[in-house]
Structure 1
C-alpha cells in the first residue's frame, strides 16, 4: 500500500504570535532558541533580504530532535538568479520523547507530525505543555525578522490528497479566477495570451497536462508533501537530480514541492509597506533533503537543503535552477 500524499492549503490568518512548530506561510519566521541563522537570510546573488515564505514542522525519524523546514525566496526584480532557499532546522527536545516508535508510526497523523497539543500550549488533557512554555520563555526577547516579512501570515491546514477531483461551486470558482487574475495583473501578464500559451504547452507535453489535471483534485493546494516519495513533475523535460548531502555525504530524497497556487496567494497577501511588485516565477519547486536527517557538526542545527525550480514553459523550454 502506497503511503498517503499530504497537501497543505491556506487556513485562518495568524492573529497571535505562533509557536515555532506551527505550520504557516508569511509573517515572520519563528525559531526555537537554538535555530539562529540570520546571516543566511540574504540572497547569495543580489545580497538583498529574502522574503520568508513558509515554515512547516516535519519530524521524520525516532530521534529526540524536532525538525522544521523554513523556505525563503528572493523577490527582487533586478536579481538575475532570484534564489529560493530551504533550511532544515533541528532542535533537541528539552525532555525525552515518550513512545518513540509509536510516535513514528503516527508521524503524519496531525499536520506533518505536530503533536495533538493545541496552539495555546495545552496538551490533549488541557494541561500546560512544559516544552511549549519553556520554548516561549527562551524566545520572548527575540525580535521578529521584520526585514524578511513581506506577506500577511496564515496557518497551513494539512490533509491527505483527495482521490477524485473536487467539484467546486460557482462562488469557489469565481474566487479562484479572481486569485489568478490578481496574480497575472501583478506580473503584467495578459490573461488571454497566457491561456493560449498554456493550451499550446498542454498539446506538446502530456506530463504538463497530467500535472494540472492532478491539481484539480485540490486547486488551492500550495504545498505537496511526500517524504521519500516521488514529486509530481510538471514537464516531460523535468529530470530532477538530487545532489548528496554536503555534510554527511548521504543521498537526498524528495520531501515536498511548492505548487502554483502559492504565487497567487502571496500576491494577494503582500503587506502594504512592500511597494515593489512581488516577482515570483515558478511552476513548481522541488525540495530534497538529507535521508539521514543528519546533524553532523557539533553545535550546528541549521542545514541548507536542495531546492530545484521548474519555471513555466510557453514558447521557450522550461528553465531549471537548483540551490543547495
Structure 2
C-alpha cells in the first residue's frame, strides 16, 4: 500500500507452527495448510496448468481494504512438481471477498473476536504497531478512519475488520487427498521501519559476511545515533556474478533476511532479478472490470525453507526467488458471487538460492 507522501512496507515473519488440532479461519495469516474459505465462497481446487497436478497452498493472507465493506482474503497456490519450479504457469493467486451480511447469515449473527494471539492476527494496515499490541489496543485501533478513495488508489489495508473471527463455522476447502500439504505456520507482521534494533543481528551479519566473501561485494550498515533511525550506507562494488539487481535486493532485506513476505499495496515490488523493461505492460488489467492491477505483496526467499510437508512420511519442497502478486486496483467483486477471482503473479528465480538454506 502507498500514500501520497511515502510508501509503507509491512514485513511478514514466521511466528510458530500452527497446532493441527486448532481451527484457523479466513482471517488467519499463515503459510501452508489448507485454505480457509469465506462463508459464501465455493472453491474448485486449482490444478497446475503445466502438469495438471493439484496445487498446494503456499500462503493465505487476510487483507481487507479501507473504504471497502468487504472481508478480503488472498490465497496463493503452487505446484510441487520439480519440473514446474520457477514457472509462473504452475502458480495461481485467488482473491475472495464477502460482506458482513454474508457472514452473519451463516453465523446467525454470532461473531466473536479472534482468540488467536495478536502476533498471529493480521496487521496489514498503516496504523500497525509492533508485535506487543494487546487486545484492547487492537480494538481501539480498529476505529481509526482510513483515507477514502473510490478509485482504489492510495487505499490502505483496513484495520476495521482485522480482529473479526467466525465462531463455530470453520470452513476449509475440500482438498484432493493426493495434493501435498505444507506444514502450517502463523505469519506475524511489523513495519519495515521498526526492524532496526528488534532482531538479534548475529545471524544476519553471518549471512552478509558469507555473501560478501562469495560474491566480492561489501555491505556495511551504519547506525545514526543522532536521529535514532537506522541509516544504511553501502560501498560501491560489483558482485562477482554481475547481478546488481540481486545485490540491491540483498541490501534491502539485510535488516531481516528471515522475512517471508513483504506487503505494500499499490507500492513498489522488490525484484530479485532484472524485471521486464516495462512492468506495467507485463501485468495485464483485471479480466473482470478492466482496471489496472497494482502490486500488493511478494513472497520472499526465506519462505522456501519453511515449505516442508505436513506429512512426515512425505518429502516435498518448492523453489523460487520471489513471487510478486498483483491485484485489481478496484478490488472488484460482483454482488452474490461465490467464486474467487484469479489475479496475476510473477515468479522470479533466485540467482543465489543457497544463501537462504
Alignment TM-score > 0.5, same fold: yes
The equivalent position to 1:116 in structure 2, one of 134, 145, 163, is 163
Change (3 A) 1:310 1:144: closer
- State the partner residue of 2:232: none
The Cα offsets for residues 276-311 of structure 1, whole Å up to 9 and x where unpaired, read as x42x33211111100011114752441000001111
CA deviation after TM superposition for structure 1 residue 220, in Å = 1.1
CA deviation after TM superposition for structure 1 residue 146, in Å = 5.2
Contact 2:71 2:161 in 1 (8 A): no
The Cα offsets for residues 207-239 of structure 1, whole Å up to 9 and x where unpaired, read as 221111111121111110000111112234454
CA RMSD of aligned residues (A): 3.4
Q: Secondary structure at the match of 1:204?
A: coil
The equivalent position to 2:92 in structure 1, one of 74, 85, 92, is 85
- For residues 240 and 100 of structure 2, the distance between their equivalents in structure 1, rounded to whole angstroms, comes to 48
Runs of 4+ in 1 over 6 A off after TM superposition: 197-200
- For residues 33 and 8 of structure 1, the distance between their equivalents in structure 2, rounded to whole angstroms, comes to 26
Tell me if 1:253 matches 2:271: no
Q: Which moved more, 1:59-68 or 1:46-55?
A: 59-68
- Count how many residue pairs are aligned between Structure 1 and Structure 2: 272
CA deviation after TM superposition for structure 1 residue 115, in Å = 2.3
Change (3 A) 1:207 1:163: farther
Change (3 A) 1:147 1:53: farther
Contact 1:58 1:114 in 2 (8 A): no
Change (3 A) 1:220 1:145: farther
Structure 2: which 5+ runs fail to align? 110-141, 148-154, 218-237, 353-357
- State the partner residue of 1:24: 30
The equivalent position to 1:10 in structure 2, one of 8, 14, 19, is 14
Tell me if 1:52 matches 2:72: no
Contact 2:294 2:329 in 1 (8 A): yes
- State the partner residue of 1:223: 261
Tell me if 1:272 matches 2:312: yes
CA deviation after TM superposition for structure 1 residue 206, in Å = 2.3
- For residues 209 and 202 of structure 1, the distance between their equivalents in structure 2, rounded to whole angstroms, comes to 10
- State the partner residue of 2:128: none
**TM-score of the pair, normalised by structure 1:** 0.72
Q: Secondary structure at the match of 1:137?
A: coil
The Cα offsets for residues 110-130 of structure 1, whole Å up to 9 and x where unpaired, read as 6xx65235xxx5xxxxxxxxx
The equivalent position to 1:42 in structure 2, one of 15, 27, 47, is 47
Contact 1:52 1:71 in 2 (8 A): yes
Change (3 A) 1:25 1:237: closer
Q: How does 1:89-168 map to 2 (within 5 A)?
A: 89-94=96-101, 102=144, 104=146, 108=157, 114-117=161-164, 121=165, 132-133=166-167, 136-137=168-169, 139=171, 147-162=178-193, 168=200
- State the partner residue of 2:135: none
Q: Secondary structure at the match of 2:94?
A: strand
- State the partner residue of 2:330: 292
The equivalent position to 1:263 in structure 2, one of 282, 304, 311, is 304
- For residues 115 and 284 of structure 1, the distance between their equivalents in structure 2, rounded to whole angstroms, comes to 26
Q: Secondary structure at the match of 1:262?
A: helix
